[in-house]
Amino acid sequence: MKKGILLSLLAVSLLAGCSGGETKNSGSTSGSAEGSTIELTFWRPQASEVEDNVYVKRIEEFNQANQGKIHVKMEVITRGNSFAYEDKINAAVASHTLPDVLAMDGPNIANYAASEIIIPLDEYFSKEDLDDFVPSILQQGSYQGKFFAPGLNESSVVLFYNKKIMAEHGITPPDKIENAWTWDEWYDVMKKTSKDGVFGTNMINDKGEWMTYAFEQLWISGGTDIVNKEGTTAEGFVNSQKGVEAAAFLQKLANEKLFNIDPKPTEFEEGKAATKLGGPWNIPGFKNYPDLEWGITYFPKKPGGIQTAPSGSWAVGVSGDTKHPKEAAEVIKWITNKDSSTQLAQAISMPASRKSAFESLTEYNELPLRIIKEQVTGVSHARPVTPAYPVLTQKFAEALTDIMVGADVKKSLDNVASTFDDEYKRNFAE
Amino acid sequence: MQTVMNAQKREHISSFRRQKRREILVGYSFVTPAVLLLIFFLVLPFLLAVAFGFTKFNLLRPDKIQFTGFENYKLLFTDGLFYKSLWNTLYFTVIVVPVQSGVALMLALLVNNRLKMRNVFRIAYFSPVVTSMTVIAILWISLYNPNEGLINSALHFFGIPNQPFLRSPGQAMNSIIFMSVWQAAGYQMMIFLAGLQGISKDLYEASSIDGANKLQQLRYITIPSLYNVTVFVLTITTIQAVKLFVQPYIMTNGGPENSTRTLALLIYQQGFQFRNAGYASAISVIFFLIVVLISFSMKKFLRDK
């Protein structure tokens, strides 16, 4: 019996070892140091090959630079479905086997910080160093006045447009931020272009996290947000008058069938949508459609409202389980420094998380990418920083989906507010 | 002489006992792996769920579990979403079980005939069963597309306007029911088919000599002979139906307006997405009791007949 348990444990650990996909040790480093080397582990989810390669290279360089002092072993966790990585973290929390350094999605930072899974890093970053990060990275990485996790890169949502369709209707999308389209102007464009199987826009990436990521900005543009600044209550924010107006705008677009609620992912690429709310990650795919002539303009704002844009990215933090916080913070600083940020931005078509990194990214000085840079470095807002974020994003996404298919706007938003507030009071209020 | 006999007899008995004991041991060692798996992955987790049901347990704070007594259950019985999910689950079950079993029986009767290419039909009806439910659910999202889906195009041909299907609170659950029946009926068909082939040909021959027509044969021979198979089919279909998860998870995420939120989906959302492991455990316990109640009453109802 004992043998059986041992055997099965062995089998499980073997399987775990296989799926871990550990990166190769650069070999000699750990051997030469004779015990004085501090071994650190670093978890991050598997991404595209080019992205993974940047990390492998940067970690190797870190190990060389710190030979005899620190050695980092990076474990790339496969992410079969979107929660496999988070599930692994949950399990590691329970068994206190978290790595020293871990990557996490931006909106999870507050939740992990509140649960003491990650520790504050303020003492390891100088003021100038922090100021070099774009503002949305600092916003996303801070919880209750402390800084926990810098982002590896940034993201943004812009409005892509089909140049041919715009030309047909004599529309010239703005290329200066002060002229950015308002909701009304965008609506007029959609009205004009939406016919013969072409939708005015394509704006449903998925009905989950995307809904919060992209559409929370409509609340911000109106001068409110979906929760208060402290992240403790949604009542009077998500369901405020301005919030209702934002949601009613989305419902109007849906009622007039200006977008497809269940779109094909390549609707815009195939010329079946005149505009598209999307991000830099869409751009590489556009190459597969030689007939498509595309341009970029700013994320539309509320008439008379605030110019804003979505942001958010994966970030890295130091786990509460680590025995070497100082060394782990060194790794974080290295992997998010100017060189790393620049190299990552070059490899994947995502904007950098540091202002200084844009210096060498010259392609961001000209159209169309200039628009992304202006949004990232100037006007972007991070998603709400609250430990009850998982409930907020689920309920908000559900409500927006319901509203788009005809549910009562006020009632749906009231429900988000009361569910979030109950949850916060029950689990996070002191 | 006598003593020798006795000794032999004793020897014989004790060797018999030894053998018997060995047999018992072998038996136990054969069931041990299964029992261990059951204990570790079924009994123990369930007992833990009962225990966690009385606690406030954030999945990310396993070191800070608080005992809260019946707090979760109090919350549960005032949670509108729980009743809504319970109602949705029961609605799905009550519709799906008879419809799916009925369709399966009809399909089985069809492919039990001596038609040409009946194996082709059998495979055709069975093929959705072997396809992953996730794949099928994604496929049906595009079939049900309210703007340009295949089904709406077909309706258009008959002059019926576009239907919202999954994107309306009134039609979403029924759309899921339709596609679930289509997906799963093939499985029950195979069981019915096996049952049909177990019915003796003599019965049909004898009845046709007595002048029974096809309908009478169906009524008085086929259906009564399938009674046990039917009980089995109804039971497994019911158990599958109350566990409804994949279709709403993939296709609607419980919406619109919670019209497709089932108990399984609610447990998943509370436990894993919201990380309220304590509350989710309490719902699981109630869910378990409901399933037990249903299967016992079905067993009683169907056996008493």
**Distance (Å) from the alpha carbon of B270 to chain A's nearest alpha carbon:** 9
pLDDT digits (tens, 9 = 90+) for A3-54: 444 444 444 444 444 443 333 333 334 444 456 899 999 999 988 888 899 9
Q: Does B148 touch chain A (CB under 8 A)?
A: yes
Smallest CA–CA distance, residue A256 to chain B, in Å, is 12
Percent with pLDDT over 70 in chain B:
98
CB proximity B273 to A under 8 Å = yes
| 3 state DSSP class of A303 | coil
User: Which residues of A3-151 form beta strands (DSSP E)?
Assistant: 38-45, 70-77, 101-105, 142-143, 146-147
pLDDT digits (tens, 9 = 90+) for B189-213: 999 999 999 998 899 899 989 888 8
Helices A409-427 and A389-404 sit at what angle, rounded to 10 degrees? Answer: 170
Confidence of residue A82 (pLDDT cuts 50, 70, 90): low
Average pLDDT value for chain A:
89
Beta carbons of A398 and B254 less than 8 Å apart: yes
Max CA separation in chain B (angstroms): 103
The predicted pLDDT at position A208 comes to 86
Q: How far apart are CA B161 and CA B154, in angstroms?
A: 10
Residue A294: in which H helix or E strand, if any? strand A294-297
Residue B1 has which token pair?
């002489």
Report CB contact under 8 Å: A207, B253.
Answer: yes
- Return all residues near A14 (Cβ < 8 A) that are at least 6 apart: none
Quote the minimal CA–CA distance from A90 to chain B in Å.
6
CA distance B109 to A318: 64
Interface membership of B169 toward A (CB under 8 Å): yes
Contacts of B258 in chain A (CB under 8 A): 398
For residue A2, pLDDT beyond 70? no
Spatial CB neighbours of A208, under 8 Å, sequence gap ≥ 6: A393, A394, A397, B253
CA distance B60 to B38: 27
Residue B58, strand partner residues: B276
Strand partners, A146: A143
Whether the CB-CB separation of A255 and A234 falls below 8 Å is answered with: no
Tokens of B204: 């049909």
Chain B interface, best mutation among A196, A253, A405, A423, by max B CB count within 10 A: A405
- With a cut of 90, say whether residue A353 has pLDDT above it: yes
Are B147 and A90 an interchain contact pair (Cβ–Cβ within 8 Å)?
no
Average pLDDT over residues A213-231: 95
pLDDT reported for residue B3: 65
Closest chain A residue by Cα to residue B254: A398
How crowded is residue A326: how many other Cβ atoms within 10 Å of its Cβ? 12
Per-residue pLDDT tens for A113-148?
999 999 999 999 999 999 999 999 999 999 999 999
Contact yes or no for A211/A187 (Cβ under 8 A): no
Domains and CATH numbers, chain A: 38-155+312-377 (3.40.190.10), 158-311+385-428 (3.40.190.10)
The closest alpha carbon to A138, from A125, A156, A151, A120, belongs to A151
Cβ-contact A60, A5 below 8 angstroms = no
- DSSP state for residue A247 in the 8-state scheme: H
Res. A258 pLDDT band, cuts 50 70 90? very high
Whole-model pTM?
0.86
CB nearest to A405's CB, from B36, B168, B258: B168
N-to-C CA span, chain A: 47
Inter-chain residue contact B253 with A208, CB threshold 8 Å:
yes
Measure in Å the smallest separation between the Cα of B274 and chain A Cα atoms.
6
Q: Is the pLDDT of residue B1 over 60?
A: no
- Residues across chain A: 430
Summarize pLDDT for B58-116 with one digit per residue, the tens: 888 888 888 999 999 999 999 999 999 999 999 999 999 999 999 999 999 988 887 78
More confident residue, A78 or A106: A106
Residue of B nearest to A264 (CA): B142
With cut-offs at 50, 70 and 90, classify the pLDDT of residue A401. very high
Size of interface A-B (CB pairs under 8 A): 75
Write down the pLDDT at residue B299.
Answer: 83
Band (pLDDT 50/70/90 cuts) for residue A381 is: very high
More confident residue, A78 or A123: A123
| Least confident interval from A70-74, A206-210, A219-223, B280-284 | A206-210
